[in-house]
Amino acid sequence: MKIFTSAQIHELDKYTIEHEPIASLDLMERAAKALTRSIMEIWPTTTPIVVFSGPGNNGGDGLAVARLLAEEGYQVSVYLFNISGHLSTECAANKKRLEDCKRIHTFVEVVQEFDPPVLEKNMLVVDALFGSGINKPLAGGFAVLVKYINASLAQVVSIDVPSGLMTEDNTYNVRAHIIRATMTLTLQQPKLSFLFPEFQQNIGQLRILDIRLSQEGTDRIETPFMVIEETDVRSRILSRPPFAHKGQMGNAMLIAGSYCMAGAAILAAKACLRAGVGKVTVNSPKRNIPILQTSVPEAVIQMGNDETIFAEAIEAEDYQALGIGPGLGQTEQTAIAVIAQLRRTQCPIVADADALNILGSHRAWIQQLPKGTILTPHPKEFDRLEGHSADSYERLTKARKLAERIQGYVIVKGRYSAICMPDGQVLFNPTGNAGMATAGSGDVLTGIITALLARGYKQQDACIVGVYLHGLAGDLAAQALGEESLIASDIIQYLPQAFKRLQ
């Protein structure tokens, strides 16, 4: 699913109007009907509704929704803000339709002073002040109105975008001047800013409504941002030949676990095995060996030459993929061994956890990464690599540039993990849940992607399939166990079900 900028959203609307063809006002009515249906599914006709509409097309949507709700028997009060004395053509047309509707409880066109209505707990506010077109923070009376709505106990449903939220870059926005919605009913596609954690309190529950914008227009418009869909993943899954043997299913090497951090190596190894690789070898310090042999009997254990740390790079020519970093520690001796390992390894590499922290403290080494390397940082690890970011948009921008600079793959982990490609494309992963915010979850992802690489997946496909599978297994685990009690090993336990669903 493509994610468009505000300018591209306007372009797609225009394309639909010209090529369906359909009048702009009729397209607005189609959107209003979809919005009205969604509201009626949740809030009964006994709910008093207050609609705040702005002067643009988002306000026109709000006026149309108000009329349709009133015709369905809701008590609807409408406040149209026309401070400048100019309404968009569609907004003006819907104002006329609203005035002709006899069932509207209250209609006030605000041109100067505004005495706000009392917003009670049992009420629903429909926020239709501003949509995807705004490019600067709300100020003056609109900022005051947003604060008033946010301070009330009423539930709020925002049309398309919570008023005040910009669809992409909110670096210089004023957070207090953005509506905090109970639910956002967005039209056709999610907006980029919806995928950033700092705005979840503004979006609330998200519903994406299909208003049948032109598929041809959608296909024609190019964008670097996409949300992965299950069909994208299914088409990439490799089949297992009926006469396969373990030598054909890949040999993966994991360099993981300092002394007292054997658990990270265990989780990565178990995940690697569950992800279908033929053979896993784990290189770990001497003191970890008894624990690993007991915990993961299916893995081959390679004893490092130090008692407690990874201290010397190993030969990796016999392996089809290498994962490095989980629980490794950050001693200077380990750091030197890590960069030596990265330089000399010829097979595809997944670098995670302490391998990333080491690169973050030796930033000049980043340019020595082999082409195609996959980095899997969480936000703090990424900031150590590329410096502090003010918000998720800035971090995403830096991640895209890093992926292009090293000609590799950067997966910034989170609720919507962002896979940044060498060509500047970004794919957001929709699977996963808050229960996966638990120690070891990242080690599991490292094991999965390393296994897929060893199995023969290309780096791009290994990233897409691996991140999606990881989140899907977490979702299946949460369905069975609940989010609160989910631990990293549960993700591994549900990997088989995730594979079965995709196959």
Q: Which of 199, 222, 245 is the last residue before a domain boundary?
A: 222
Please give the Cα distance from 156 to 434 (Å, whole number): 24
Q: Which structural domain, as residue segments, surrounds residue 25?
A: 6-222
pLDDT over threshold 90, residue 116: yes
Same domain, 372 and 475: yes
The number of C-alpha atoms within 13 Å of 61 and in the hemisphere containing its C-beta is 28
Q: Is residue 433 part of a domain?
A: yes
Query: Which tokens belong to 176?
Result: 């207090």
Same domain, 497 and 419: yes
Residue 239 has what DSSP assignment? P
Count structural domains, the chain.
2
Q: Give percent of the chain above pLDDT 70.
A: 100
Same domain, 129 and 11: yes
Same domain, 174 and 308: no
pLDDT score of 230: 97
Same domain, 11 and 76: yes
Same domain, 243 and 173: no
- Sheet of 49-53: strands edge to edge? 106-110, 76-81, 49-53, 124-128, 155-159, 183-187, 205-209
Q: Is residue 1 part of a domain?
A: no
Same domain, 258 and 178: no
Q: Give the contacts of 2 (CB within 8 A, at least 6 positions apart).
A: 189, 218, 221, 223, 225, 226
pLDDT over threshold 90, residue 113: no
Query: Which tokens belong to 404?
Result: 């292009």
pLDDT over threshold 90, residue 447: yes
pLDDT score of 300: 97
Task: Name the maximum alpha-carbon separation found in the chain.
Answer: 84
Same domain, 218 and 236: no
Query: Which tokens belong to 225?
Result: 């941002």
Please give the Cα distance from 375 to 193 (Å, whole number): 23
Same domain, 427 and 296: yes
Q: Is residue 56 part of a domain?
A: yes
Same domain, 242 and 203: no
Q: Which of 194, 222, 250 is the last residue before a domain boundary?
A: 222
For CA atoms 215, 219, 220, 222, give the dihedral sign.
positive
CATH of the domain at 474: 3.40.1190.20
With both helix axes pointing from N to C terminus, report the angle between 459-481 and 495-502 in degrees, rounded to the nearest 10. 120
Average pLDDT score over residue span 372-377: 98
Same domain, 172 and 245: no
Q: Would you give the end-to-end CA distance of the chain in angstroms?
A: 21
pLDDT in tens, 272-328: 999 999 999 999 999 999 999 999 999 999 999 999 999 999 999 999 999 999 999
At 185, phi and psi to the nearest 5? -105, 95
Average pLDDT score over residue span 74-99: 97
Same domain, 50 and 141: yes
CATH of the domain at 207: 3.40.50.10260
At 475, the pLDDT band (50, 70, 90 cuts) reads very high
Q: Which of 167, 195, 222 is the last residue before a domain boundary?
A: 222
Q: Give the contacts of 393 (CB within 8 A, at least 6 positions apart).
A: 168, 169, 170, 171, 192, 193, 196
- H/E element, 89: helix 89-100
pLDDT in tens, 38-81: 999 999 999 999 999 999 999 999 999 999 999 999 999 999 99
pLDDT in tens, 177-194: 999 999 999 999 999 999
pLDDT in tens, 19-45: 999 999 999 999 999 999 999 999 999
> What is the model's pTM?
0.95
Q: Is residue 155 part of a domain?
A: yes
Average pLDDT score over residue span 375-385: 98
Please give the Cα distance from 417 to 432 (Å, whole number): 9
pLDDT in tens, 130-181: 999 999 999 999 999 999 999 999 999 999 999 999 999 999 999 999 999 9
Angle at 58 between CA 397 and CA 119, to 5 degrees: 105
